[in-house]
Amino acid sequence: MDQSIVLEPVGPADSAVIWLHGLGASGDDFAPVVPMLRAAGLTQTRFIFPHAPVQPVTVNGGMLMPAWYDIVAMDLARKIDVAGIRHSAQRVDEIVAAQCASGIDSSKILLVGFSQGGAVALYAGVRSVVPLAGILALSTYWVGEQDASLHPGVPPAELPIAIHHGTQDPVVPFALGESAKSALEALGYAIEFQSFEMPHSVVPEQLAVIAQWMTTRLHDNSR
């Protein structure tokens, strides 16, 4: 059984948000923002916050902690174990498939991730063979170039991607957010990139932007 926090709407869900936390955190991290998102209009959205498995992380001396994959070095290349991120992406695929089986169209499912979770959201979303409502990548980086077998699952023009990054981020440097934007644009994706004056975090004014973006992606019937 999948280990996730699931927050159901009142009444049947017509859409879903799958939100992945950062290294060493848990699905509880972003669950508190759901009331604000519901107040912004996402009243019929199911919110799913998966917990990453506990595993050793090389850059932290092999310490056991919740992680979507191992991080080998804390350099600008952000070298990761490809097998690990593939495994996490498969888990995202399974969650998406379960939502579709429950009656939610894949085009009404958003992938969101912060930091390490954002890297998984980007990787899983790009390789997804079903159309999604979009990907929101927060304070993260792109690892796709580390997997030569990675190919877009649907045409890039059909997958909206937004990237947010803090200009004062000491954990995932702002340059990595910019390089993620450039790499994805080179693959044909149209990227909405926004910077915020913040460290490795999420700030209130950013949450307002997130709420607006989610509402547009999930309730714009012209799509």
- Would you call 43 helix, strand, or coil by DSSP? coil
Q: Say how far apart CA 189 and CA 29 lie, in whole Å.
A: 29
Tokens 């879903």 identify what position? 16
Amino acid identity, residue 149? Answer: S
Q: Which of 129, 137, 183 is nearest to 160 (CA)?
A: 137
Out of 115, 128, 164, 165, pick the active-site residue: 115
Active site residue 115: yes
What are φ and ψ of residue 28, in 5° steps? -70, -20
- Would you call 18 helix, strand, or coil by DSSP? strand
Q: Say how far apart CA 127 and CA 28 lie, in whole Å.
A: 26
What are φ and ψ of residue 154, in 5° steps? -125, 160
Active site residue 169: yes
Out of 51, 87, 107, 200, pick the active-site residue: 200
What are φ and ψ of residue 218, in 5° steps? -95, -20
Active site residue 2: no
Q: Say how far apart CA 133 and CA 159 lie, in whole Å.
A: 7
The catalytic residue positions are 115, 169, 200
